Structure 1
Amino acid sequence: MMVVFSGLDAKMKGKKGVAGEIVENLNQWSKKSKKSFIGKAISSSWSDSKNLREAIEFIRANYTIGSNDKLIIYGFS
């Protein structure tokens, strides 16, 4: 499971920008590799409380503590 934060380019209105591209590329790779993957792209500031809440809710809904699942949180601007 992966949560990706990135800044949103003004030209990318309504899209998830680079974060969305990363998640989509990983999703396509996982299908080709027959691996399980779930990801969430959040395009805006990681320090924005709305975006942090969205990420936490996604993790809580999809991650089981103690499982063999890997959780990666990746952010860049």
Structure 2
Amino acid sequence: MRLLGSDLGFNQLATMPDLSKLGKLAILKLQNNALTSLGTFPSNVTTILAGSNKLASFPTNLPSSVQAMYIMLLVFFC
């Protein structure tokens, strides 16, 4: 069995768990936690959702496989 996606959103995480051994992980949802930084990502991750956290800076250690990263939630009211 291969874990292709993980939803860790809404868990009040202050630090990111070690996911480096999940080599097949493609989608990682980390939104709505208390993360101030993002740790090491699995090498095959393609999409990271990390909005509504307390990130101090943009992560610079992203694997080359990342195609999309969402760190901001924009809400518009008309």
TM-score range, shorter chain: under 0.3
User: TM-score w.r.t. structure 1 length?
Assistant: 0.27
User: TM-score w.r.t. structure 2 length?
Assistant: 0.27
Q: Which has the higher helix share?
A: 1
Q: Which has the higher strand share?
A: 1
